Every structure is written in C-alpha cells, then in structure tokens.
Chains A and B, each alone.
Chain A
Amino acid sequence: MIAVLALIAGVALGILFHPTVPAALQPYLPIAVVAALDAVFGGVRAKLDGIFDDKQFVISFIANVVVAAVIVYLGDQLGVGGQLSTGVVVVLGVRIFGNVAAIRRHLFRA
C-alpha cells in the first residue's frame, strides 16, 4: 500500500515539477525506465514469493539503472550504442517477462 502511494507521489512530483531532461541524458532515459521496471517486477515477485527484502530492492534498482546506462554509454563511445541498447532491452525484457509470468502464477494460479 505504502509502495503504491510512494509510486503515485513520485508520478505527481514528476508532473508537478516537469523537469527538462538534459540532451546528453536523453538517450539513456528509456533504458533507465526499462531497467527500473525490471527491478520493480522483481520486487513484486519477491513480495509474492514472500522473500521481499528492502535492501535488495533498493540496490537492484539503483544497480540496474546505473549498469544499463553505463553499458549504453560505453556502447555509444564504441560506436555500437544502438546494438548494445537492444541487448540491454532484450535481457531486461526477458527478465521482466519471466517475473511477470511468476506474478501471474501467484495471482491466478495459472
């Protein structure tokens, strides 16, 4: 419950302040969002599995976002940014998919 409220508060803050993202950071924004979603679905699944851990969640969130951004940054410097972004999205997408499938099994027993 608190988690949902916190999420809504974050969205409200974003709408309220309406920050402009610096141009240099713009390519990393979608990747960061995908990485964050991976952490969130992992956390939800862990909650349903009964093994949720605050510390683990925070660390996995921050690490996911940072690592994804760094990989894409490195790729940009090496000239393979597009391909590496695809790689990051594929890996995180697979994980999101698997976790959502587990959540579905928890919720619907199917």
Chain B
Amino acid sequence: MTSAGREFSPDFLTELFRNPLDPGYADAAARRARDGVPRGSRSRLTSGVAVLTLVALGFLLSVAYQQTMADEPAASNARKTLVDQVQTRRAETAQLQQRADQLRTDVAALRARRLGGAAVAELTELEATAGLAPVRGSGAKITIRDGPIPVDPLTGEHNTQALVKDSDLQLACNALWSEGAEAITVNGQRLTATSTIRQAGEAILVDFRPVTTPYEVVAVGPDSLADHFREGYAGRFFKELANRYGMAFDAAPVKDVTLDAASDLTLRVAGPSTPPAPSGGSSPGSARSAGPTSTPSEGGR
C-alpha cells in the first residue's frame, strides 16, 4: 500500500498475493497529500461519475443474475417438456393398446357366438400357433444375461464382446422352434411367423420394440424342451459363451406359463382357405417350424 508497491515486481504472483490492492489508490493518496484535496467542482464531478459507476455495477449484477436464472430453466425446461411428451405418448399408447385388446376380445366373443363349437375351437388352435392368441402350458425358459463390460483403462473404450447379440437370440429361438416349441416369447414379446429380432446399435429390437438384458426366452412345448435345448447345439454354444465371456446362461423347464398374444400382426395376404391346413404355411422363408400338430394337447387353450 505504500508507493514501494509500485516497483516493478519480477514475480507477478507473489506480488498479487501480497498486495492485492490496486497501487493506483496509494498513488492517488500520495498525490492528494502532496497537492492537497482537489477543488470542489472537480471532486463533485468525479464523485458523480463514481456514483454512476456504482449504478452501472448494480445494473450489471442484476442483469447477470437474471441471465443466469433465465439460462438455467431454459435447459431444464426443454428436457422436462420432452420427458412430459414421452410420458404422455406412452400413456396414450397404453390406452390405445388396452382399447385394441378390448375390441379384440369383443370380436372374438362375437365370432364365437356366430360360429359356435368346433369351428371356434379350430380357429383358436390356429390363432395360438400363429401367435394371435395367448397360450398356456409347460415348456422351457432360457435366460441369457450380458456378461461384464470391461472398459479399456487407456482408451476408455467399452468392450462389447460379452453383450448378447441379436444373432444369439435368433439362434436360441430357432433352436427352440426346431426342438418342437409351439409358442415363444422374448422378454414377454410373442414371436410370430413374421417376427424380427434385430440389433440397432447396442439395443436389440424384437418386432421393433427394445428388449434388454436379462433376456428371457420362454417357450411352450414338450416337457423335454429345456433338456434338449441344453444338450443341443444352442446349449453348447451358450455354455461356451458363458465360459469365455462371462455371460449368464440358464435353461430350465417351466410348468404352466402363459404367453401373451402378439400385440399386432399385420395381415399381408389373405385368400380363401382350402381344406383346414393347421400348419398354415405362414412361415415362408423362415427357418422355424411351428409344428402345431406335434403335441396339440399342449397349446391352444
């Protein structure tokens, strides 16, 4: 604070810490001591300017405060709006889905009243194999879980080798079909003849709806389904994956499960039906054999 602080200091930071006050104040004080207090009008002018400066300062502070406050909600508002929209749409979807289910039940009831007896039974059977009606029975439950995802400590990259891939789920489903499964769901999504299991980035979509780990593939079929699956090609494949990458794999028989109907099945081609053909021929180009006639006692109830 003495005029010695005016000396050029080679060490800026030390100076900054030791003497934070602007040296100009000391200079001004020294000048005043030397020349005496400045004349009235001049000093009034500078005081006025100082007051104006303070007004400007207060203005600046409040503007900065308002600006910061205005910025904050803008960011969180946008997010909140999006979240709201997502939730509203989701609720709408659920409502519409409920209505669709309701209407479907109504249609089924009306149809049952019109057709009656054997025709309805046959229709239900066909619907069950096509995935349009819920199915109850015993079968197998395959559980596959993602393995640990190691992060490379140097590059920060995720090693996604241990993630379950769409091809793994496809393989599991195809193996189940070939072992005689009559109906399959993946995480509650019923598979039909036109179902797709695809990868989109790191997500797996079943009929364009995302499913996540753990993946539960539930199948209704013969009682030996789980054992056959475990001992078959798919079982060995998943065991190998579990050993090598740490994925979890389990195949267990289940009793009395209910598989929901597929949410929507777009009818692409329709023609007059020839004499009842339970196999339906509805899975062209698909490796799956629906095999509805193999154990009719199991499904379609």
Residues of A that sit less than 8 Å from B by CB: 2-3, 6-15, 18-19, 21, 26, 29-30, 32-33, 36, 39-40, 42, 45-46, 49-62, 65, 91, 94-99, 102
Contact = CB atoms under 8 A, between A and B. Distances in A.
B43 interface: yes
B54 A7 contact: yes
B25 A19 contact: no
B59 interface: yes
A56 B24 contact: yes
Given A29-B67, A53-B24, A14 B62 contact: yes
Contacts of B59: 10-11, 13-14
**Chain A interface SS verdict (over half):** helix
Nearest to B68: A30
A34 to B, nearest CB: 10
B158 to A, nearest CB: 28
A72 to B, nearest CB: 14
B60 interface: yes
B55 A6 contact: yes
B196 to A, nearest CB: 46
A58 B45 CA distance: 12
Which among B29, B32, B53, B67 has the highest number of chain A CB atoms within 10 Å?
B53
Contacts of B53: 57-58, 61-62
A55 B49 CA distance: 8
A49 B279 CA distance: 99
A94 B63 contact: no
B51 A6 contact: yes
B20 A98 contact: yes
Contacts of A54: 43, 46-47, 49-50
B179 to A, nearest CB: 61
A51 B2 CA distance: 11
Closest 10 CB pairs of A and B: A10-B58, A14-B62, A98-B20, A51-B29, A53-B28, A6-B54, A54-B46, A10-B55, A54-B50, A46-B25
A36 B60 contact: yes
B69 to A, nearest CB: 11
A48 B150 CA distance: 61
Contacts of B115: none
23 contacts: A3-B54, A6-B52, A6-B55, A7-B54, A7-B58, A10-B54, A10-B61, A11-B61, A14-B61, A14-B63, A15-B62, A15-B66, A19-B63, A42-B22, A51-B1, A53-B29, A54-B46, A54-B47, A56-B25, A58-B53, A60-B22, A94-B16, A102-B21
